[in-house]
């Protein structure tokens, strides 16, 4: 994974340059924070859908960071990111090599999630479903 490559913009989404990064730390307060290699962070404040495999073989779980109901997210520790997509509608989707899929939608009232990195890139899901983006 090269941290020199920046995220790539498409018409309806941004492909984030997190492929191959590993979850090295998980913390919980009123948010769920996944710390990745190279000091990138994924901070989630809105409810999150975490699934594993297909919907037929394993139902998804609703994680609620505000109430610290996120125990299922511990399965992501040590997982490598296969895909990270920030949709311009305000949703975030992360796919991991463990077969887990994490999805966080935007919220009408507050910033649902953000992804920040040491290279100056920052993506924030604004209330109502838009993205704010800062680049290095």
Asked whether residue 1 carries a pLDDT value surpassing 60, the answer given is no
Task: Return d(Cα 57, Cα 88) in angstroms, integer.
Answer: 30
Q: Could you report the per-residue pLDDT of 44-81, keeping only the tens digit for each?
A: 999 999 999 865 666 799 999 999 999 999 999 999 99
- Both structure tokens of 9: 């913009």
pLDDT, greater one: 58 or 15: 15
pLDDT of residue 92: 98
pLDDT of 119:
81
pLDDT at 35 over 50: yes
Q: What average pLDDT does the segment 1-8 reach?
A: 66
DSSP characters over 30-88: SSEEEEEGGG-EEEE-S-EEEEES-TTTS--EEEBGGGTB-GGGGGGTTPBEEEEEEET
Across residues 11-22, what is the average pLDDT? 96
Structural tokens at position 34: 């996944």
Q: What is the pLDDT of residues 73-116, one digit of tens each?
A: 999 999 999 999 999 999 999 999 999 999 999 999 999 999 99
Is residue 4 over pLDDT 60? no
Q: Quick check: pTM over 0.85?
A: yes
Measured CA to CA, the distance from residue 108 to residue 105 in angstroms comes to 10
């Amino acid at each position: 994974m090269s941290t020199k490559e920046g995220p790539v913009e498409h018409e309806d989404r941004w492909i984030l340059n997190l492929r191959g990064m590993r979850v090295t730390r998980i913390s919980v307060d009123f948010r769920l924070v996944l710390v990745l290699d190279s000091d990138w962070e994924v901070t989630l404040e809105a409810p999150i859908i975490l699934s594993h495999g297909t919907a037929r073989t394993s139902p998804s779980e609703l994680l609620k960071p505000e109430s610290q109901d996120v125990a299922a997210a511990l399965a992501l520790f040590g997982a490598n990111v296969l895909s990270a997509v920030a949709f311009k509608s305000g949703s975030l989707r992360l796919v991991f090599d463990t077969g887990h899929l994490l999805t966080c939608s935007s919220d009408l009232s507050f910033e649902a999630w953000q992804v920040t990195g040491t290279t100056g890139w920052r993506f924030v899901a604004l209330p109502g479903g838009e993205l704010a983006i800062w680049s290095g």
